[in-house]
Amino acid sequence: MTVLIVAPNQVVRAGIRTLVDDQVRIEVAGAVAGYADAAAAIRRGRPEVLLVDTSLGNGIVDLVRVRDSVGPRSVSVVALVTGEVPKVSKLREYVAAGVDGIVSTAEDIGASLVAIRTGQAPGGWISPTLGAEILRYEPPTLRPALIEETPVPRVSLDQVTPSEYAVLRLVADGHTDREIATRLQRSERVVKFHVSNLLAKLQARNRAHVVKLAVRTGLLPMACACGQGTVVRTTRVTR
């Protein structure tokens, strides 16, 4: 099996070569510092394995893309952890990109490369130590996105007339303008006028939005059973 070592640091390249040269079934075809030489090797179809130091960062993912663009996987791209272990999110990124394996200098590199090339791990070879870390990984909890990014106008009960408040309660119950007019013994024109005032005062886009904002500002209780019984806010100001 022929292996090309890819590592930006010259000392690291020499160290990896020492480790790999000791393997009976592996021949080191060379060692390069960066992406360009490694990509050229992939396009030539030689050597059989690219052993890439994880210090190359996103270059590993880029090399996988080059490998996939040339057709069948004649060249295996293997990430090698030589020093500080990358963040688990980065290791998972390598796996998602389609690396043929992730190995570590803390374990038998040769045995891992043989397993990769002989198809013992068709889904991708993961160093046992690193695999345990990936399985234990839990992504950080994200804060839920705010439903409303724009500030909600502060509207107090003093700014809403008793008639507007009565209409608001019935709108929250899902009644139409005609139904509200019947219940309040007002004309539909008057009801529409009150609804329009409520939209303006709460800076709402529509009837559903005005109810939503009324709840958020405290004009309506969270569970508004406005049309059932007599739910009245104790802070209601009588005009």
Answer yes or no: is 142 within a domain.
no
What stretches of the chain show up as alpha helix (H) in DSSP? 10-21, 35-44, 59-69, 88-97, 109-117, 128-136, 162-172, 177-184, 188-202, 207-217
Q: What is the pLDDT of residues 21-65, one digit of tens each?
A: 777 678 888 899 989 999 998 888 788 889 999 988 888 999 999
Same domain assignment for residues 14 and 131: yes
Same domain assignment for residues 127 and 163: no
pLDDT of 6 above 90: yes
pLDDT of 235 above 50: no
Same domain assignment for residues 152 and 236: yes
Query: What pLDDT score was predicted for residue 121?
Result: 64
Same domain assignment for residues 126 and 203: no
Mean pLDDT of the chain: 78
Same domain assignment for residues 159 and 78: no
Tell me whether the omega of the peptide bond preceding residue 47 falls within 30 degrees of 0, making it cis: yes
CA gap 85, 217 in Å, rounded:
50
Show the domain range for 117.
2-136
Neighbours of 233 (CB within 10 A): 13
Taking the model in full, what pTM does it have? 0.54
**Of 203 and 223, the one with more pLDDT:** 203
pLDDT of 79 above 70: yes
Same domain assignment for residues 7 and 122: yes
173: pLDDT confidence band, cut at 50, 70 and 90? confident
Same domain assignment for residues 77 and 190: no
Q: What is the pLDDT of residues 92-140, one digit of tens each?
A: 888 888 888 888 887 788 788 877 777 776 667 787 777 766 666 666 5
Same domain assignment for residues 30 and 76: yes
